Amino acid sequence: MENERMIYIMQESDITEAVDIWVEQYGRYCRSSEAFPPNWLKETRGIASFLHKKVSDGTTIVAKQDGRLLGYLAYDEFPFNGEKSVFCPTIAHAVVDEYKEEVYLSLYQHASQKWVDRNIFNHMWTVFYNDDRLMRILFDLGFGSYLIDAFARGDDRMIVDPGYTVNRANLQDVEIVYGLAEESREYYRSAPLFLRRDCYSRDDIKGMIQDSNVFIARIAGEPIGFINVSVSQSDNIIDLSTSNSGLIDGMGAYIKPESRNKGIGKALLKCVFDYCRENGIDGIHVDFETANLFANRFWRRYFDPMLLSLRRTINKNINDR
């Protein structure tokens, strides 16, 4: 098979077949949980539109054998922390199951050589969390875990400790939320995360309080954590959340370290579940860094991981002569 397989630039005529391969792949890895959005099995216009754009950009390659499409790989270029990077979201790749290993390796070998030739050394992929075969391929190539996207349906049976209060923030709470958000940025900069998070101004936080939902947890009146949830207005082909989903995004969630493991996160999350249930919002999405040890344990208790993002950094001196 190796001698017969060829890599080409994707053409418009390849898109229908590529979409079919992706939908089959989604069904294989995402039927395991009722929390995962089923829409992507039948709503393929967003996938096709994405691939049409990538064909126009010339940033998609395909593997073929005897005229049959075996798989495809698309990518976006963007600066990540000031470094030239490529990103292959889950929507941007799929391979027929019978030739999975060899085709994925061929596609990455072909694409990565062109990336490195252009001094793009930071490579990022997102794969289905249950796709152990592809994860093994990427781990062997030197990729490491980076980010998880997970989904849940609201649970109305959660029982929390009454020893603290959780209330929805109002405009008088801007300074409180700002202080907690700044504290969370310092937490993310520390070991083992070493991540730079966005800086939110007081006006940013005021807008979040007005336009979404920020809940603050307090013990004896002292604020010790928050959670932020908004509602999606459209489908997102990158993280695969759908319209009218709850999104724990923006500032996300944070609890002071000394107040953790006391059920406060559960109480904050219950407010999110209650809000979503009361407003007819079925699915809820969250993403979290795998290096965030506390979040990694917490979110997995209530959410099912669906996507895993991985990252590989190529040696920067590879093009030196």
Query: Domains of the chain, with CATH numbers?
Result: 6-147+309-313 (3.40.630.30), 155-281 (3.40.630.30)
At 96-123, the pLDDT tens digits run 999 999 999 999 999 999 999 999 999 9
Torsion angle defined by CA atoms of residues 232, 145, 289 and 188, in that order, rounded to the nearest 10 degrees? -140
pLDDT band at 1 (very low <50, low <70, confident <90, very high): very low
pLDDT exceeds 70 at position 131: yes
Mean pLDDT value of segment 84-97: 97
The closest alpha carbon to 86, from 56, 106, 115, belongs to: 115
CA atoms within 13 A on the CB side of 246: 31
What pLDDT, on the 0 to 100 scale, is given for residue 156? 66
Q: Which amino acid makes up residue 179?
A: G
Residues 160 and 267: beta-carbon distance below 8 Å: yes
pLDDT exceeds 60 at position 248: yes
Report CA-CA distances (Å) from 240 to 76, 126, 208, 268.
Answer: 17, 11, 23, 24
Tokens standing for residue 141: 């190539």
Residues 192 and 145: beta-carbon distance below 8 Å: no
At 31-61, the pLDDT tens digits run 989 999 999 999 899 999 999 999 999 999 9
At 180-232, the pLDDT tens digits run 999 999 999 999 999 888 899 999 999 999 998 999 999 999 999 999 999 99
Determine what percent of the chain is predicted with pLDDT higher than 70: 98
Mean pLDDT value of segment 130-134: 97
The closest alpha carbon to 168, from 270, 50, 247, belongs to: 270
Strands lying side by side in the sheet with 60-65:
6-9, 60-65, 68-74, 93-95
